[in-house]
Amino acid sequence: MSARNWGIVRDCMRKEVTEVDGTMDVRSALQVMKKVGATSLIVKRRDDQDEYGLLLFSDIAKKVIAKDRAPERVNVYEIMAKPVVTVRPDMQIRYCARLFENFGIGHAPVVENDKIVGIVSFYLLVLHGLAANLE
């Protein structure tokens, strides 16, 4: 029995990503998220030896709102995930979904030639990998 071809990450990733500095306060990061219509932000590397970070809405909910912290007094670097698992744009969707499950994550930056070219999530994997074939 052959495996179903769900496609590759490049075909379902969100290409518009927004990068912010880790020293930005969470209130400002939320303003950026609202402006660009994103639920996640890439946190820039400080230098070539640093790693990317990732800020998700869920990080803000769990680490700011639930703990009753003032978003203007919390920096992004205090609540972001870093380092983050990254995926290649030519990775098969089924392997990306397995990777997410194995590591307990739901989002990952897509990296090609050491540069972020997109972001992928369970939502996008299902929307483009499975739901695209339901027409």
Q: pLDDT digit string (tens) for 8-39?
A: 999 999 999 999 999 999 999 999 999 999 99
pTM over cut 0.75: yes
pLDDT in tens, 110-129: 999 989 999 999 999 998 87
Beta strands in 32-131 (DSSP E): 40-43, 53-56, 107-112, 115-121
Above 90 in pLDDT, residue 133? no
- Start-to-end CA distance of the chain, whole Å, equals 24
Domain 9-133: which topology? CBS-domain (3.10.580)
Whether the Cβ atoms of residue 12 and residue 64 lie closer than 8 Å to each other: no
